[in-house]
Amino acid sequence: MADQEIYRASTYAPVNIAVIKYWGKRDTKLNLPTNSSLSVTLSQDDLRTHTTASCSPAFPADTLTLNGSPQDISGARTQACLRELRHLRQSVEEQDPNTPKLSTMKLNITSGNNFPTAAGLASSAAGFAALVRAIADLYHLPATPTELSRIARQGSGSACRSLFGGYVAWQQGTHPDGSDSLAYEVAPASHWPDMRAVILVASAEKKDVSSTAGMQQTVATSALFQHRAENVVPQRIKAMEAAVHGRDFAAFAQLTTRDSNNFHACCADTDPPIFYMNDTSRAAVRMCEAINSSAGEVVCAYTFDAGPNAVVYYLAEHEDVVAGTFKALLGGLSGWEGKRGGAVKTAESVPEGMEVAGELLRRGVSSVILTGVGDGPRKTDQHLC
């Protein structure tokens, strides 16, 4: 029957890992940040959310399924995204009365991740970006990725950056309604395609303190954070954009590691203090510093989100010295098999004096993920339901 028709659209959306971090909201309802941020979108071949959005007059209720488990869809963030997208669809329907009234139908959304959910691997970013992109495609919305970023931001702040590939900034904006708090492309992946990352998975558990809760404790109690938001980040965003435009890895690396350290210092300055990094994370920091010293130049940069996993950025030309050193220590773990990992040449030695750090890494890292800069959401005909 025509009125029982099911309409579908599917998308893959990438993970992004910030190099200048978002931490702190000036408006918790709209997810308006206290500072701008900048990230690298990672390849969807390695990390991605696959989402199918469908709607039909036959569906009795809106539903959301993630990795096979039904999710609560009544949360304010998901509801805000659905409301905004339906509103845009209504405008399309008003302009052309022959367009099917999809905005009045219930939505069934089905998602799957190819990486551990909520392990500090930015799953909410890929998840909300995929949800917004898939529904926008289902609704044939004429909106640009920047316009959609305003909606995805309300799902999870960092999600607004996953609507683009390559190097992406989220400008904090000044308007109270959030209309100028949007993501934009600093440069596409093709501008600096040889950016690589090895992720050392130190825990695939759900995090202790969620980003949402943690950042508001920091805003409320840390004096160091005020300084970060007002004085440190604005200059770093400009410098990072210049580093990306100029493909200046040394500048990119220094800004990335310093910003990660500054963010975690603000977490430690929170009352009560928040610790996302652990002994394994600190061993990864020491190993990266040692790799850079023994190379005699900056060849890698570490960064940590709200969890202990290390994301180590490097250029393809330094794969053997950076990823190869970690492979020498962690060669038995999953993640090195397959075409990318298999091609990494194991370093003959690790830098001197790194025995303790090496042992901590061997004990604490459970798997590795090799990836690199990648493109933005991709439409697909592979439907999940």
Nearer to ligand DP6, 158 or 280 (CB): 158
Least gap, CB of 155 to ligand DP6 (angstroms): 7
The Cα–Cα gap between 285 and 168 comes to: 25
Round to whole Å and give the CA distance between 41 and 25.
22
Smallest distance from ligand DP6 to CB 260, Å: 9
Quote the DSSP letter at residue 36. -
Least distance from ligand DP6 to the Cβ atom of residue 159, Å: 7
Token pair listed for 309? 């996993």
Pairing of the two strands 300-303 and 48-56: unpaired
Nearer to ligand DP6, 46 or 319 (CB): 46
Residue closer to ligand DP6 by CB (options 15, 55) is 15
Contact footprint for ligand DP6 (CB under 6 A)? 18, 21-23, 31, 37, 124, 156-158, 211-212, 305-306
Give me the least distance between CB of 248 and ligand DP6, in Å please: 21
CB of 22 to ligand DP6, least distance (A): 3
Distance CA 323, CA 316 (A): 10
- Taking Cα atoms as reference points, which of 116, 120, 133, 125 lies closest to residue 161? 125
Give the number of other CB atoms < 10 A from CB of residue 237.
22
Q: Which is nearer to ligand DP6, 108 or 211 (CB)?
A: 211
Structure tokens at 367: 């798997």
The least CB distance from residue 21 to ligand DP6, in Å, is 4
Q: Which of 196, 154, 236 is nearest to 40 (CA)?
A: 196
Can the peptide bond before residue 272 be classed as cis, meaning omega within 30 degrees of 0? yes
Residue among 91 and 210 whose Cβ is closer to ligand DP6 = 210
- Dihedral angle sign, alpha carbons of residues 70, 75, 77, 82: positive
CB of 96 to ligand DP6, least distance (A): 35
Through-space distance between the first and last CA atoms of the chain, rounded to whole angstroms: 19
Task: Report which residue's Cβ sits closest to ligand DP6.
Answer: 157
Rounded CA gap, 353 and 25, in Å? 42
CB of 60 vs ligand DP6, minimal distance in Å? 29
User: Which amino acid is present at 317?
Assistant: E
124 or 171, CB closer to ligand DP6? 124
- Residue 48 in tokens: 């991605």
Q: What is the rounded distance in angstroms from the CA atom of residue 378 to the CA atom of residue 380?
A: 6
The CA-atom distances, in angstroms, between 214 and each of 180, 220, 325 are 25, 10, 33
Kindly tell me which of 18 and 253 has the beta carbon lying closer to ligand DP6: 18
Least distance CB 161 / ligand DP6 (angstroms): 7
Of 58 and 265, the one with the shorter C-beta distance to ligand DP6 is 265
Reduce the secondary structure of 83-126 to three states and give it as a string. HHHHHHHHHHHHHCCCCCCHHHCEEEEEEEECCCCCCCCCHHHH
CA gap 148, 131 in Å, rounded: 11
Q: CB nearer to ligand DP6: give 158 or 292.
A: 158
CB of 153 to ligand DP6, least distance (A): 8
Q: Given the complex with ligand DP6, which of 264 and 286 has the nearer CB atom?
A: 264
